[in-house]
Amino acid sequence: MDRLEAMTVLLAVVEQGSLSAASRHLRSPLATVSRKVSELEAHLGSRLLQRTNRKIALTEAGRSYVEAAREILDRVEEAERAAAGEYSAPKGELTMTAPIVFGRLHVLPVVVDFLKAYPDINLRLMLGDRLANLVEDHIDLALRIGNLADSNLIATRLGAIRRRVYASPDYLARQAAIRRPSDLSVHDCITFEGMASTHSWTFIDNKRELPVPIRSRLAVNTAEAAVDAAVSGLGITRVLSYQAAHAEAAGQLVPLLTDFEPQPAPVHLVYPSQGLVPLKLRALIDFATPRLRAALK
């Protein structure tokens, strides 16, 4: 039995959620996938998976073994990359993730220029507002907006982005003036569920946090939708400044209550701590960092 191959098959079953899904992912017959898992269990003398008709679950022994197997396979992959020269020349595969709007506006152009400069590197750019687990999702580099939780990630600060309140000139012409956060109580608001509560917004007044109740006429789950609704004149929205930059530049949105804005949200590039950093990843970090810092000024 090839134990490394068996470990790879087992991890595919766990990550894909079933034997059949792993079979499709590996492009291997279902019978082969099932046999390799059974052979591994027989070799270990312990059951690793609890099988049902619809899904699989790891046993206690299985959880421990999968964690160890993942570390072993990662070390083997690292050794193979080193032997292939990945640490002496920038080449190979990279995966990067970034928030949707910031990624499209700022990260994608940097990535395009990077790939033109490094023809031996291929890159997968995943845009999404979900906070991915870099290790479990096999992501090399992530752009994160917001305060970082304590972790074993290595972080490079790029700058900061403000959370800002906006409304269209048409809406402001029809409604009562907005000079202080408390004025929002009589206004229609458009809330972005990914940003904060749909019931209140927090501002800073004399260095103290000031929660202000709001009335959400419309709650959406993407910043683009919140911006579009505000541009249409429906009400007031609050998003990160870059998400409304185009509409503001076009005169479609006006920033409000700037004297009461919270502290800017920090922006970082983060990657897992992994000992020797592959040259391809170092090349991407060194290429992207000054360009993204310039975009945040």
218 lies in which domain range? 163-260
The average pLDDT across 122-149 equals 89
- Is residue 24 situated within a structural domain? yes
* Residue from 255, 252, 251 nearest 239 by CA: 255
- Is residue 109 situated within a structural domain? yes
For residues 198 and 58, membership in a common domain is answered with: no
Distance between the two ends of the chain, CA-based, in angstroms? 57
Contact 225, 101 (CB under 8 A): no
User: Which pLDDT does position 195 carry in this prediction?
Assistant: 58
Contact 161, 264 (CB under 8 A): yes
pTM above the 0.85 mark? Answer: no
Contact 245, 297 (CB under 8 A): no
Rounded to the nearest 10 degrees, the angle between the axes of helix 30-44 and helix 3-16 is 120
User: Which pLDDT does position 32 carry in this prediction?
Assistant: 93
Place of tokens 């600060």: 157
The average pLDDT across 269-286 equals 87
CA 92 to chain CA centroid, nearest Å: 22
Residue 84 binned pLDDT confidence (cut-offs 50, 70, 90):
low
For the chain, state the CA radius of gyration: 24
Name which of 26-40, 47-61, 215-229, 231-245 the model is least confident about. Answer: 47-61
* Residue from 148, 118, 117, 112 nearest 131 by CA: 148
For residues 155 and 191, membership in a common domain is answered with: no
Amino acid identity at 11: L
Residue 237 binned pLDDT confidence (cut-offs 50, 70, 90):
very high
Q: Would you say residue 153 has pLDDT above 90?
A: no
Place of tokens 């990914």: 194
- Is residue 266 situated within a structural domain? no
For residues 108 and 178, membership in a common domain is answered with: no
The average pLDDT across 109-114 equals 97
For residues 249 and 286, membership in a common domain is answered with: no
Contact 235, 167 (CB under 8 A): yes
- Is residue 52 situated within a structural domain? yes
Residue 73 binned pLDDT confidence (cut-offs 50, 70, 90):
confident
Looking at the DSSP bridge assignments, the partners of residue 189 are 216, 236
- Is residue 181 situated within a structural domain? yes
Q: Would you say residue 87 has pLDDT above 70?
A: no
The last residue of one of the domains, among 24, 58, 83, is 83
For residues 155 and 281, membership in a common domain is answered with: yes
For residues 71 and 201, membership in a common domain is answered with: no
Convert the pLDDT of each residue in 174-218 to its tens digit: 999 999 999 999 999 999 876 566 789 999 998 899 999 999 999
Convert the pLDDT of each residue in 117-131 to its tens digit: 999 999 999 998 888
Q: How far apart are CA 203 and CA 183, in angstroms?
A: 12
The last residue of one of the domains, among 83, 113, 131, is 83
The last residue of one of the domains, among 56, 83, 110, is 83
Cα–Cα distance list, 206 to 14, 25, 161, 196, 262 (Å): 52, 56, 21, 22, 11
User: Which pLDDT does position 124 carry in this prediction?
Assistant: 96
Q: Which of 15-19, 38-42, 46-50, 233-237 has the highest mean pLDDT?
A: 233-237
Amino acid identity at 68: A
276: domain CATH number is 3.40.190.10
Q: Would you say residue 279 has pLDDT above 70?
A: yes
CB atoms within 10 A of CB 288: 22
Q: Which two tokens stand for residue 215?
A: 């009335």
For residues 152 and 171, membership in a common domain is answered with: no
56: domain CATH number is 1.10.10.10
Domain tally, the chain: 3
- Is residue 265 situated within a structural domain? no
Looking at the DSSP bridge assignments, the partners of residue 94 are 123
Q: Which residue has the higher pLDDT, 149 or 171?
A: 171
Q: How far apart are CA 75 and CA 7, in angstroms?
A: 13
For residues 101 and 179, membership in a common domain is answered with: no
Average pLDDT in the chain: 89
User: Three-class SS of residue 208?
Assistant: strand
* Residue from 197, 153, 59, 87 nearest 37 by CA: 59
User: Which pLDDT does position 242 carry in this prediction?
Assistant: 87
